[in-house]
Structure 1
Amino acid sequence: MQAPVHRFSDLFAQLGLAHDAASIETFLLSHSPLPQAMRLEDAPCWNPAQAALLREELRADADWAELVDQLNAALR
């Protein structure tokens, strides 16, 4: 069985954020750079549900984890 294929924009949709290319670019520019010592899920730009989703996906090494890692890198 193949793992689902998710796009970067799908992660933004999963987080309840606008997920068109322009909105993603605006979000990244508005919230970066995050301090290197700050964990992604602790960034002030997330509401509690978004932070919990990011934390859980990374903890479970779920199929979204790779995209969460990409988001982390994009915000640095």
Structure 2
Amino acid sequence: MSDTTLELHTWVAFGPAGALGSIHSTSEGFAVKLLADSEWSAPFPSLEVAKSAFYARLVPGSDWPEFKEH
């Protein structure tokens, strides 16, 4: 995501133990990053797709995170 510009919208994902990562809107879509990740994902075309991709990166059996816009 080095050539992608981050915009003003951020959604932080929370699980039972606290923050898990975030989704940022960009000029190209929505980028995903878990706290353990060193880099952002390639952009996804919509927020809903980005949320699904975020969830898919969690440990199997995890609860759906709560996404809060900041």
Q: Which structure's residues are more often strand, by fraction?
A: 2
Q: Which structure's residues are more often helix, by fraction?
A: 1
